[in-house]
Amino acid sequence: MPKTVQCELCPNGCVMEEGQRSRCRARMNKNGRLYSLVYGKPCAVHVDPIEKKPFFHFLPGTTAFSIATAGCVLSCKFCQNWQISQANPEDTDTYDLPPEKVVSNAIRSQCRSVTYTYTEPTVFYEYMYDTAIIAREKKLRNTMHSCGYIREKPLKTLCRYLDAADIDLKAFSEDFYERVCGGRLKPVLDSLVLLKKESVWIEITNLVIPTLNDNMKMVKEMCGWVVKNLGPDVPIHFSRFHPHYKLTNLPPTPVGTLTAARDTALEAGLKFVYIGNIRHEAESTFCPKCRKLLIERIGYFVKQNLLNGSRCTYCSTPVPGVWS
């Protein structure tokens, strides 16, 4: 008797016969039931500055207890963590870290939040969900860095415990998502709209890759969509590409391209536009009204925070974010 199952977690909707695995490598059909192969088995555990995620408007200067397991729902040719995102769970070195231990370790490390990151948190959904519940009980915040490739129902369920999400908006093109990432753009946009609706703090990261998504017309279209659907307060990070994984033939992103993307985003109406993976003054936060420096950053570190609560010290303009 056939025991076929379908995973309903991400838009891939993998159909698995008995003994088969999902595309993300983290789920398996065993005796007609679907199991997670990575629950409580992170392959990466670190205490990071929250700015590394990157979150620039969420508890600046604090640390985040960060975990990841093997696997990913996409297969981006430029992946910076391909050694674990494109690996089978059994091929990675893992820790035995059940949800309660994640939270106790986070508290012991004086972290303010637990972050689900590095690979794609959707693949370890059950682990993330159970950890998030315990973390919330212990007054820790939950954040994730995700590609946003997840279905509505699981994301909505997770939003009850999620405080912030940094979503990789890899390009504003279905063709790019299909050719370079093996996915689709539409579900990512739907996730962003849902996160906004569920009042989860959102930041967006866009890795600017020479010749693939560095067209300013596309950047303008993307920023216009963000302003229209999520509002002008959503911070966006234009990140510098470095040759990696299957795209070692491309050069690092020229600084001029990143600043052009930033100018385009500001023109489109976004108020907080950052440049990442490179030392630049656009790593810092400026007041959208008086343009004075409010949070000075050097890399992942906050050099000075001049916010007065959640307002500009100089002109009292409210600065959107989660500051305490």
Residues forming the site for another protein (CB under 8 A): 1-9, 15, 27, 30, 32-37, 39-41, 96, 98, 125-127, 129, 151, 153-154, 157
Q: How far is the CB of 127 from another protein (least distance, A)?
A: 7
Of the candidates 159, 153, 212, the one whose C-alpha atom is nearest the C-alpha of residue 187 is 153
Contacts of residue 50, Cβ cutoff 8 Å, sequence gap at least 6: 58, 59, 60, 61, 62, 63, 64, 112, 113, 115, 143
Q: How far is the CB of 153 from another protein (least distance, A)?
A: 7
Of the candidates 226, 250, 270, 301, the one whose C-alpha atom is nearest the C-alpha of residue 62 is 301
Question: Is 9:52 a contact under the CB 8 Å cutoff?
Answer: no
> CB-wise, 92 or 213, nearer to another protein?
92
> CB-wise, 122 or 285, nearer to another protein?
122
Q: How far is the CB of 119 from another protein (least distance, A)?
A: 17
The rounded distance, in Å, linking the Cα atoms of 247 and 250 is 6
Burial label for 101, CB within 10 Å (0-12, 13-18, 19+), is middle
Cα-flanking dihedrals φ and ψ of residue 321, to 5°? 155, 180
> CB-wise, 128 or 180, nearer to another protein?
128
> CB-wise, 127 or 201, nearer to another protein?
127
Q: How far is the CB of 161 from another protein (least distance, A)?
A: 13
> CB-wise, 24 or 230, nearer to another protein?
24
Q: How far is the CB of 189 from another protein (least distance, A)?
A: 21
Question: Is 103:40 a contact under the CB 8 Å cutoff?
Answer: no
Q: How far is the CB of 38 from another protein (least distance, A)?
A: 9
Question: Is 137:88 a contact under the CB 8 Å cutoff?
Answer: no
Burial label for 272, CB within 10 Å (0-12, 13-18, 19+), is buried
> CB-wise, 6 or 229, nearer to another protein?
6
> CB-wise, 24 or 204, nearer to another protein?
24
Cα-flanking dihedrals φ and ψ of residue 58, to 5°? -140, 110
The β-bridge relationship of strands 285-286 and 27-30 is unpaired
> CB-wise, 39 or 272, nearer to another protein?
39
Q: How far is the CB of 150 from another protein (least distance, A)?
A: 10
> CB-wise, 30 or 220, nearer to another protein?
30
Of the candidates 316, 294, 312, the one whose C-alpha atom is nearest the C-alpha of residue 303 is 294
The rounded distance, in Å, linking the Cα atoms of 240 and 250 is 12
Q: How far is the CB of 156 from another protein (least distance, A)?
A: 11
Q: How far is the CB of 20 from another protein (least distance, A)?
A: 12
DSSP-based three-state secondary structure for 168: strand
